Amino acid sequence: MGEMKFEQKALVKAVDGALQEQGRAAAELRIATPGGRFHVRWDEGGSATALGQLPFFAEFLEVSGLFARWLDGCPMAYTSPNAPDIVDVLGTWLLSILDGQRRYAHVAGLRGDEVAPQILGMNKIVSDESLRRALAHLAPNQPDRASEEERAARAAQLAKSTAWMDAALNESTREALRTPWILDADTTVKLLYGHQAGAEIGYNPTKPGRPSHTLHTYWIGNLRMVLDVEVQGGKASAAKHSLPRLRLLIERLSPEERPALARGDNAFGNEGVMGEMEEIGQRYLYKLRQTAGVKRLIERQWQQGDWQAVGQGFDAVEGELRLAGWSRARRVVVLRRRVKDSLAAETGSEGQQQALHFIDSSDKVKLWEYAVLVTNADYALEAFGQLYRDRADCENGFDELKNQWGWGGYTTQDMERCNLSARAVALIYNWWSWYVRLAHPKARLEAITSRPMLLGGIARLTQHAGQSRLLITLSHAAGDQIKAMIANIRKGIDHVLANAPQLPKVERWRALIRYIVGKIIEARPKNPPPFGLGPPCLAYGVG
């Protein structure tokens, strides 16, 4: 009787095994490819992430305490027991931005990842709709028919969220302001394709007639860190819309943290901006539009002929100028550079084909392009050419943030969430920029290069005896260089932990930034241009 039961159990086990094998065979796909035939199966029980090197960045956040303080300061408070945890909301937002996503709907591409949430101490990745609702709670808009009590409550919540992001952005850049630096102010256009608040047809050279938002941005020059950003309507592109925030940013800094120079293009070269900078004792360097008065200045300087070579093919001469509407005469610097290429001039009447006449730009006939700068700084004349040329680095920052990060997306119908998202992208961008400079202090790497190198890879998670292990597979060709960069990161973190083990995390972050800044300055050229900015600093040579 016992033998019969044993045989029955063996038979059942054999049948179950056969059924399982049959199921595995049925689930296995046979794929014919140019490289031959492959057998493919879905790995249902595996734990892996495509953000294979996320643990190293997570360690950077843990040692510095950046992510933890961002969570602790968040003014979001749910009352529903079914609401997601704050760490899940902000962690999802962080992963989405870090992954280079541009739309909230792209969050769905992360929801199958069970490893990345564990690395950041999350329970799960929330849905894109949950993320939208959470941000609407953080940055509520003002409906037209709201009561006074509702308006006051929404305004109070928005003020709390603004202060929260102010503190996070300030912490991400504050330590870099301990050395002489330059503040660049500029604007860029964010194209819109829906029915958003503030979608107005303003200055838009890329797609004229397309509604847009304007992003007013304030940078640490050359280091390409974002001090702050604010989203305004498409028609608010003039410098007067940047001026209130620009002045506030400068005034809230201590005297030793203030910029050595405030710099901007010709939108800032007007009496309103210059007068306020002079009122708060801030040195500036702005470009002037070539109005009739400025053109007469160029003619006078041309006749005097006191031009001085200032490098890279530029000549410069200085003088004083007081335009109509200015409260005082100001120092101006005229830069000129010879146009080397052939020029074509169009002639012809309306309705007829244009005739092209080429102008000789050889040594016999010299043609020049001019730029006129206005300043209250006392730097040597030869400094201004390079100082203003460096301002063009803003355009590289805008290109990176709009095309490689999320500034061109994360759009909702209300302005408040658009502004909050733009500031969050700037915050994560700053964190990642410090992390990459720790890995590679000689020069900055844009996200299109740094993400595949320092974030990409496949990491498989295994757990045994209470220990979690990650096996990382790199598919990048520069595997050895990546490992060397990770070694630089670990070296910096170990340096801080070894020299300041008793310090709280906020002090560790400051020590870590001082370490990174020291490495950047150490890697810069040994013979800086004579700008009069003092000791080796972040104002030049670190692009």
Q: Which amino acid is at 103?
A: R
Q: Residue 357 has what pLDDT?
A: 44
Q: What digits encode the pLDDT tens for the residues 418-451? A: 999 999 999 999 999 999 999 999 888 999 999 9
How is the chain split into domains, by residue range? 2-40, 284-346+355-375, 442-522
Q: Residue 12 has what pLDDT?
A: 54
What contacts 354, CB < 8 A, 6 or more positions away?
346, 347, 348
SS3 labels along 278-315: HHCCCCEEEECCCCHHHHHHHHHHHHHCCCEEEECCEE
Which two three-digit tokens encode residue 105? Answer: 């709907």
Q: What digits encode the pLDDT tens for the residues 215-258? A: 999 999 888 899 999 999 989 989 999 999 999 999 999 999 99
Give this prediction's pTM: 0.87
- List the 48-49 sheet strands across, edge first: 48-49, 458-464, 467-473
Tell me the DSSP string of 449-470: HHHHHHT-BEEEEEEETTEEEE
- The whole-angstrom separation of Cα 152 and Cα 316 is 55
Q: What digits encode the pLDDT tens for the residues 438-487? A: 999 988 899 999 999 999 999 999 888 888 888 999 989 999 999 999 99
Task: Provide the strand spans (E) within 305-418.
Answer: 308-311, 314-321, 330-338, 343-347, 355-359, 368-375
Q: Residue 315 has what pLDDT?
A: 86
Asked whether the predicted pLDDT for residue 536 surpasses 50, the reply is no
Q: What digits encode the pLDDT tens for the residues 17-27? A: 655 555 555 57
Which two three-digit tokens encode residue 130? Answer: 């949950």
3-class SS at 99?
A: coil
Confidence of residue 347 (pLDDT cuts 50, 70, 90): low
- The whole-angstrom separation of Cα 332 and Cα 516 is 37
**Residue 146, CA distances (Å) to 412, 507, 513, 536 in order:** 20, 44, 45, 55
List 463's β-bridge partners, or say none. 468
Chain centroid to Cα 189, Å, comes to 15
Strands 458-464 and 308-311: unpaired
